C-alpha cells in the first residue's frame, strides 16, 4: 500500500511538472540585409517578407525590397551567434538566451569594419523586427529579423 501511494504521488507530481514546464523546440531565425528603393519594375518581394509586405511599403514608402545579405540560423540552445553579411555591410547577431516570449539579442551593424549601430532587442516569435539603417544611393538599408 505504501509503495503504491508513493508511486501515485510521484506520477501525479511528474504529470504536473510535465504540464508546467514548457518544452522548447529548436527554431529558425531569418536575418536579412535588405535594400529598399523605388523602381519602375519592382522585383517580387522575398518570401521571408511576404507576410508584412504591406506594412513595409506603408512605413518606408518603397516598392521594391531586395535582399543583399541573409542568414538562416537554427537556434537550439538559444545562446548562439551568427552573421548576415553583404559586400559592405554585416549584421552580427548574438543571442543571449531564449524564453517562451522569444530571444534576447544583441545586434551590431557594421559598414565594413565600422560599427554603425548597436542594439539590444527581444525578438518575439510572433513579431518581426525591422531596423532602419543608412540611406544607400536612392534607397534605404533595412535590417530584418524574423522567427520562422
Partner 1 sequence: MKTFEEKWTAWLDDELTGDELAEFEASLPDKAAAAAEKRDAHKLGAFLKEQLQGRAMGNEEFFHHQLRERIERDARAGVAEGKADSPRAWWPIGRLVWVGATSLAIFCVCTFFVMRERGPAEQSQYLSQILTARVDPVVSPNATISMFESKKDRVTVLWVDGLQSLPSEYATK
HEC string of 80-102 equals CEEEEECCCEEEEEEEEEECCCE
Q: Is 47 in the site for partner 1 (CB under 8 A)?
A: no
Residues 54-73, one symbol each (x = binds partner 1 by CB under 8 A, - = not), give xxx--x------x-xx----
CA 57-141-38 angle, to 5 degrees, is 45
144's CB contacts (< 8 A; 6+ apart) are 30, 31, 32, 34, 48, 49, 128, 129, 130, 131
Which of 7, 79, 88, 97 is close enough to bind partner 1 by CB under 8 A? 88
Dihedral of CA 26/110/119/63: which sign? negative
Binding-site size, partner 1 (CB under 8 A): 57
Which one of 27, 46, 52, 78 is in contact with partner 1 (CB under 8 A)? Answer: 52
State yes or no: residue 83 binds partner 1 (CB under 8 A). no
Which positions lie near partner 1, rule CB under 8 A? Answer: 1, 5, 8-9, 12-13, 16-17, 20-21, 35, 37, 51-52, 54-56, 59, 66, 68-69, 86-89, 99-102, 111, 114-124, 126-139, 141, 145
Amino acid at each position: 500500500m505504501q509503495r503504491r501511494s508513493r508511486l501515485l504521488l510521484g506520477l501525479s507530481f511528474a504529470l504536473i511538472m510535465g504540464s508546467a514546464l514548457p518544452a522548447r523546440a529548436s527554431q529558425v531565425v531569418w536575418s536579412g540585409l535588405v535594400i529598399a528603393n523605388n523602381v519602375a519594375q519592382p522585383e517580387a518581394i522575398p518570401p521571408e517578407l511576404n507576410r508584412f509586405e504591406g506594412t513595409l511599403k506603408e512605413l518606408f514608402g518603397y516598392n521594391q525590397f531586395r535582399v543583399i545579405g541573409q542568414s538562416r540560423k537554427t537556434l537550439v540552445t538559444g545562446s548562439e551567434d551568427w552573421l548576415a553579411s553583404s559586400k559592405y555591410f554585416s549584421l552580427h547577431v548574438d543571442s543571449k538566451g531564449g524564453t517562451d516570449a522569444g530571444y534576447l539579442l544583441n545586434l551590431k551593424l557594421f559598414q565594413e569594419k565600422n560599427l554603425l549601430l548597436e542594439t539590444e532587442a527581444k525578438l518575439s516569435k510572433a513579431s518581426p523586427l525591422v531596423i532602419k539603417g543608412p540611406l544607400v544611393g536612392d534607397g534605404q538599408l533595412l535590417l530584418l529579423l524574423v522567427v520562422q
